[in-house]
Copies of this chain bind each other. A is one copy, B any other.
Amino acid sequence: MRIGFIGLGTMGEPMAARLLDAGHAVTVHNRTRAREEPLAARGAGRAATPREAARAAEVLCTMVSDTPDVEAVLFGEDGAAAGLEPGAVVLEMSTIGPEAVRSMHARLAEQHVSLLDAPVSGGSEGAQQGTLSIMVGGEEAALERVRPLLEVLGKTVTYVGPSGAGQVAKAMNQVIVAGTYAAVAEGLALGLAAGIDVEAAHRAVSGGAAGSWGLTNRGPNMLRNTYPLGFRVRLHRKDLGIALDTAAALGVPLPVAAYVAQLETGLIKRGFGDEDVSAIARVVREQAGLES
């Protein structure tokens, strides 16, 4: 397929590379143009603007940082919307708010372009290995057309409902990550403070009802009080902000997620925003008076 791909960060670059390697005709664009070069060396076309990247594309993928970036890429000066032809599909894979997605979806529908929100989880490792989990909202017919592309990028592609639903599912993911990691951090802090063999206790509780991906994969780092990436605190905080705004608009109180967001706000202020999100254990440990 003819694919335009906008946004070549730590997620977008390996995703675009996978699409190229799968034999698609990919034209890339990135705000910092130099990031296009490695992909161009592998056969990608380069576009000077989002509009040019969209021209003649059957599918336009966007993988940028936040709602204003997606707005600018699609509807700003030389934005992609001006280049898209009727019948094209926009695969919006950034994590942004469901309301913003629905608004973009409606604007593009006027020019007979279908926008799917398809945020991902699985991190840069998942992007490189094609093992992302992709949650899709929008028209099912549009999803079926782009499914072969998504299967190059992810190991699971899940349709979760109309426009915006993919972003809600991503918000659910980040809310659950927040509370689960906080739970792990609290449990481990208790063991550390009590002076028991906490590595042994970690093993003992990992296999039962307390078990989680976070306990198994982030617990050991929490015990060492080191937080290599992973997924950055500042990005998780951005995503939690979207989740909490979405929840507030729906009248859904999320006290645990809101609490974790506060911990993350403090971590970012103190310079820990580029650590892994499991760094919330840093604060939980500090609150317990454990040496840092």
Q: Which residues of A does B touch, CB under 8 Å? A: 98, 121-123, 133-135, 137, 156, 158-161, 164-165, 168-169, 171-180, 182-184, 186-191, 193-198, 200-201, 203-205, 207-215, 217, 231, 243, 246-247, 250-257, 259, 287-289
Which of B161, B197, B256, B289 is the one whose CB lies under 8 Å from A179?
B256
Report, nearest first, the 3 A-B pairs whose CB atoms are least far apart. Answer: A179-B183, A212-B212, A158-B204
Q: Select the residue from A159, A184, A252 with max chain B CB neighbours within 10 A.
A: A252
Please, how many angstroms separate the alpha-carbon atoms of A43 and B174 in the complex? 54
**Copies assembled:** 2
Q: Which residue of B lies closest to A259 (CB)?
A: B255
A262 to B80, CA, bound (A): 51
Partner of A200, one of B158, B176, B180, B188: B158
Residues of B within 8 A of A288 (CB): 250-253
Task: Let me know if B176 and A205 touch, CB within 8 A.
Answer: yes
Bound CA–CA A265/B51 (angstroms): 58
Q: Give which listed residue, B98, B133, B194, B209, contacts A208 with CB less than 8 A.
A: B133
Q: Shortest CB–CB separation between residue A63 and chain B, in angstroms? A: 18
**A172/B191 in contact, CB under 8 A:** yes
The residue of chain B having its C-beta at the shortest distance from the C-beta of A135 within the complex is B204
List of B residues within 8 angstroms of A254 by Cβ? 186, 189-190
With CB as the reference atom, state the residue of chain B lying closest to A247.
B190
Q: Is the CB of B257 within 8 A of A210?
A: no
- Is A160 in contact with B196, judged by CB distance below 8 angstroms? yes
A64 to B180, CA, bound (A): 30
- The reply to whether A190 and B213 form a contact with Cβ atoms under 8 Å apart is no
Cβ contact within 8 Å between B122 and A208? yes
Contacts of A289 in B (CB 8 A): 251-252
